[in-house]
Amino acid sequence: MTLKDLNIDNTWTLFLDRDGVINKKLEDDYVKHTTEFEFIDGVLNALRILNPLFKTIVVVTNQQCIGKRIIFPEDLELIHQNMLYEINYLKGRIDKIYYSPYLAAENHPTRKPGIGMAMQAKQDFPHIDFSKSIIVGDSMSDMEFGRNAGMKTVYISNEAKTDERIDFNFKSLIYFAHSLTQ
């Protein structure tokens, strides 16, 4: 199966992980300030390309740095406001950002691989159909989130990985975006 076989049109929803998909992941650390947030090469162009292809584009991100009291929710909101400003300025779009502030040990239903954030998105955007949704992420918990909600899964990594939870592999979001338009 290829992405073309899915017949993606503007009734589909795109779920994006943040760290490792949109911005560079900090090794053994968290993005705590706007100055530490750095877009991955090609992401802003990818979001411009993806904008007209999907009805809804949302971010779903685990942010246990809040639960660990490393940053406050207001800090995260500022990081996200700046991120959205740059994306919108360059003709990209993210309709809403969902985050789970809970610690991994809490096993909260909003924390991926739980589907709480997907359910929040469906509540806000009732037209979302998980069978016509794709999650793009860089971790197995992202892939499990997608599987648990009934979505197609796209794994972002420099190395192609074979796993029953992964439908498609791409090196980055821009490669994924180009695959939909070529």
pTM assigned to the model: 0.97
Q: Is 94 left (phi over 0), alpha (psi -120 to 50) or beta?
A: beta
**pLDDT value for 1:** 77
pLDDT score of 160: 85
What per-residue confidence (pLDDT) applies to 4?
Answer: 84
Which residue among the candidates 19, 138, 142, 167 is catalytic per the annotation? 19
17 is catalytic: yes
pLDDT computed for residue 2 by the predictor: 83
The list of the chain residues with pLDDT below 50 reads: none
CATH of 3-181, one of 3.90.870.10, 3.90.180.10, 3.40.50.1000, 3.20.20.60: 3.40.50.1000
Q: Which of 17, 138, 142, 167 is catalytic?
A: 17
